């Protein structure tokens, strides 16, 4: 029997959308078990003005739709996984998390990827073009993303039980970040899969590993 009052939310990744393949996958799987998956639009139609803090505010407003006796389960992909960790570290109402290639060290990842010259150009120009997978085209994003990201904990110290799935061939977020996080947190179990950052070719395996955890929590 499913637990009553369960609320599950999926947090999409950077430059993604509520209609991403992973969002639809989890929505369909949970719907087959009569569980509704909430998928908030973390950008709220303003990708150019995106910040970590703004997305956390979206999650908080979404969580307010839950009553006090409804356990909240967060499933987050990449940046959505990092956001889920940040939010859970500040909100005990989150009962457990499933993180898919979480973008720990988000600010450092961008700093390393872009390098000093492109970062300076971004700062001076105010925006840079980014390919938005949800829209299928390049769109601008403002430098306020970096200013704000630097203010957030790179490894959020949440205490809730969590499952982390990370591809061993991830070229975007090094799997070593999740390895280090899991080794330092006894509440976390890391499952490494033979996949890249998107993990779309490992979704059936991820569902098999996470289904009971999402619905009922960790086994005792």
**pLDDT band of 210, cuts 50, 70, 90:** very high
Query: Residues 6-57: pLDDT tens digits?
Result: 899 999 999 999 999 999 999 999 999 999 999 999 999 999 999 999 999 9
Per-chain mean pLDDT for the chain: 95
Q: Which residues of 119-142 are buried (b: 16+ CB within 10 A; e: fewer)?
A: beebeeeeebebebbbeeeeeebb
- Both structure tokens of 63: 């969580």
CA distance 142 to 84: 22
Closest CA to 23 of 80, 84, 82, 93: 80
Contact 111, 119 (CB under 8 A): yes
pTM: 0.96
Q: pLDDT tens across 66-121, in order?
A: 887 888 999 999 999 999 999 999 999 999 999 999 999 999 999 999 999 999 99
Note the pLDDT of residue 5: 75
157-200 pLDDT, tens digit per residue, is 999 999 999 999 999 999 999 999 999 999 999 999 999 999 99
Q: Which residues pair with 162 in a beta bridge?
A: 97, 188
- All residues at 6 or more sequence positions from 219 whose CB lies less than 8 Å from its CB, including other chains: 212
Give residue 220's pLDDT band: very low, low, confident or very high (50, 70, 90). very low
- The span from the CA of 30 to the CA of 90, in Å, is 26
């Amino acid at each position: 029997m499913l637990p009553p009052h369960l609320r599950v939310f999926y947090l999409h990744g950077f430059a993604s959308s509520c209609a991403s393949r992973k969002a639809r996958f989890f929505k369909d799987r949970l719907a087959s078990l009569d569980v509704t998956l909430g998928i908030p639009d973390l950008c709220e139609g303003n990708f150019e003005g995106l910040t970590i803090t703004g997305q956390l505010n979206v999650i908080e407003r979404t969580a307010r739709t839950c009553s006090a006796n409804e356990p909240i389960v967060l499933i987050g992909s990449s940046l959505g996984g990092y956001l889920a960790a940040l939010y859970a570290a500040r909100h005990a109402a989150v009962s457990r998390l499933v993180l898919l290639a979480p973008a720990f060290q988000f600010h450092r990842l961008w700093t390393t990827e872009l390098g000093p010259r492109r970062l300076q150009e971004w700062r001076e120009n105010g925006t840079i073009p980014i390919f938005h997978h949800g829209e299928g085209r390049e769109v601008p994003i403002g430098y306020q993303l970096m200013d704000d990201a630097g203010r957030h904990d790179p490894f959020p110290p949440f205490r809730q039980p969590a499952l982390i799935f990370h591809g061993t061939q991830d070229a975007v977020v090094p799997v070593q970040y999740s390895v280090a996080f899991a080794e330092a947190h006894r509440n976390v179990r890391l499952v490494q899969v033979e996949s890249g950052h998107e993990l779309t070719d490992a979704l059936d395996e991820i569902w098999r590993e996470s289904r009971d955890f999402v619905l009922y929590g960790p086994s005792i």
